[in-house]
Amino acid sequence: MLETATAFGIEEALEKLGLGEINEGTSTGSDNFGSGEIISSYSPVDGALIGKVKTTTKEDYEKVMTTATKAFKEWRSIPAPQRGEIVRQFGEKLRELKEPLGKLVSYEMGKSYQEGLGEVQEMIDICDFAVGLSRQLHGLTMHSERPGHRMYEQYHPLGVVGIISAFNFPVAVWSWNTALAWVCGDVCVWKPSEKTPLCGVACQNIIAEILKKNNLPEGISSLINGDYKVGEFMTQDKRIPLVSATGSIRMGKIVAQAVAARLGKSLLELGGNNAIIVTPDADIKMTVIGAVFGAVGTAGQRCTSTRRLIIHESMYDQVKDAIVDAYQQLRIGNPLDQNNHVGPLIDTDAVKMYQNALVAAENQGGRILVEGGVLSGDGYESGCYVKPAIVEAENAFEIVQEETFAPILYLLKYSGEVENAIAQQNGVVQGLSSAIMTNNLREAERFLSASGSDCGIANVNIGTSGAEIGGAFGGEKETGGGRESGSDAWKVYMRRQTNTINYTTELPLAQGIKFDL
């Protein structure tokens, strides 16, 4: 490893997470994680090799599924509040390991250390939520039309839940799924991104310790590693009734078709092309904070990142000048250094997409307000650091219609009433997160109405980026339509059953049908 890892305590963090043996670039060597080819994990922070893991072969996968399906038979019979107790213990362990796991997230993925800690806090929060939920898996009681009959519905565990997660939230999204699935009585098989495999191994180490301590089957939580080919094991497997997949729209369409072909269920969290509408009644200071963090946080690599700023013509220049000025103050560099605002992109492929997007924006008629570019020299050896850019554009530009996972913000203009801005915001295929900055109650309510934002998330006077676990998270249109985390998202991890009990000596039929023998 390079000096960065030593200076910021990465090696110590790896030791605490049970990864001490791989910090010299050796394999995990664990059959639990695979026996196939090697994945090398390089940090985008400094280009150093953090470690290597083995991928999962088809034979490995079959062993995992055998273990998982066997574990499900035991786990589903344990009362839900007792399952919640296991999740509580997991949350407590995460509290103990918040700092080292947050550092690993920051170092392997490239997001700021504060965001790494925030991601682990999301894991802790969803555990707390799930513990309470374990005593609230409610069904309904209905009145029967037949005398002496009682009707109700209840929810039962689905079985093995497959989880495919993306690099940008290498631990939190997994926990959103597993914490809920576990209290619902499901077991989970997880394929983390091949770009952040060590975060997956670390999380598996943590939950494996909890399961062993409580004499529970290890198959309650399983890990598989590899690229899309390993993911296909799950999408095509009839033993997995639900596949939860987070990633690009392209990937989601492939997963959806494969799972639907076997009549399974898929929970999809795909791309976003999120906008903030700025009306004449907006608070400029709040707008700048929300827009800048939304656009450059995680180097623009969030599905909720702010891609478009739709500004009323009457205040366009004022907002533009404030945003451009704020960008001049951004500090780009090592994300473990808390003085920096922006870290690296995940890899050099992401850098190429960023560069291509800026070229396309100019070719399609965009005007560069804040120039981008790739940083080089001392501290930027990995080649993954880029400058956040701002482009004046039109919503109809092809590049604006796409999601570029990088810190590029498009400034768009609208005139007239707020409905015109809403039309622009909705005029993309994605429908994840949206926001409006206004102190006008009528504008806010129009934005939140049925004819307003068509996104799964619609905010007033906060940005598009970030979400609390208490609310259901997800989007509409080509974002996939899935919901994770809070509210009643737990229901997707269970099967619904309607029950009718006849406690009489007669057998009347529904709808008054007569059938006498």
Give pLDDT, residue 4: 74
CA separation (Å) from 29 to 10, 26, 188, 191? 21, 8, 22, 18
Under a CB-based contact definition with an 8 Å cutoff, are residues 240 and 161 in contact? yes
Measured distance CA(436)–CA(511) in Å, rounded: 50
Among 108, 115, 122, 269, which one carries the catalytic annotation?
269
Sign of CA dihedral 168, 171, 172, 173: positive
Instruction: Write the DSSP assignment of 457-514 as a string of letters.
Output: EEEESS-SS---TTSEE--EETT----EESTTGGGGGEEEEEEEEE-SS--PPGGG--
122 given a catalytic annotation: no
Give pLDDT, residue 467: 84
Give pLDDT, residue 517: 81
Measured distance CA(132)–CA(469) in Å, rounded: 13
Both ends of the chain: CA-CA distance in Å? 83
- The 3-state DSSP class for residue 344 equals coil
Under a CB-based contact definition with an 8 Å cutoff, are residues 54 and 225 in contact? yes
Give pLDDT, residue 34: 76
Measured distance CA(13)–CA(496) in Å, rounded: 43
Q: Which two tokens stand for residue 371?
A: 């120039």
Give pLDDT, residue 395: 98
**Positions of the chain with pLDDT lower than 50, given as ranges:** 23-32
276 sits in which H/E element: strand 274-278
Question: Within 13 Å of residue 55, how many CA atoms lie on the same side as its CB?
Answer: 18
Measured distance CA(42)–CA(58) in Å, rounded: 26
Give pLDDT, residue 27: 36
Under a CB-based contact definition with an 8 Å cutoff, are residues 244 and 267 in contact? yes
Measured distance CA(168)–CA(298) in Å, rounded: 8
Among 184, 303, 384, 455, which one carries the catalytic annotation?
303
- What b/e string do you get for 448-481 counting C-beta neighbours within 10 Å, with b at 16 or more? eeeebbbbbbbbeeebbbbbebeebbbbbbbbbb
Under a CB-based contact definition with an 8 Å cutoff, are residues 295 and 388 in contact? yes
DSSP alpha helix (H) spans, 21-140: 58-75, 80-96, 98-109, 113-133
Give pLDDT, residue 22: 52
For 20, other C-beta atoms within 10 Å of its C-beta total 14
Question: Within 13 Å of residue 444, how many CA atoms lie on the same side as its CB?
Answer: 11
- What b/e string do you get for 176-211 counting C-beta neighbours within 10 Å, with b at 16 or more? bbbbbbbbbbbbbbbbbbbbbbbbbbbbbbbbbebb
Measured distance CA(514)–CA(474) in Å, rounded: 48
72 CB-near residues (< 8 Å, 6+ apart):
157, 159, 160, 186, 187, 219
108 given a catalytic annotation: no
Under a CB-based contact definition with an 8 Å cutoff, are residues 211 and 186 in contact? no
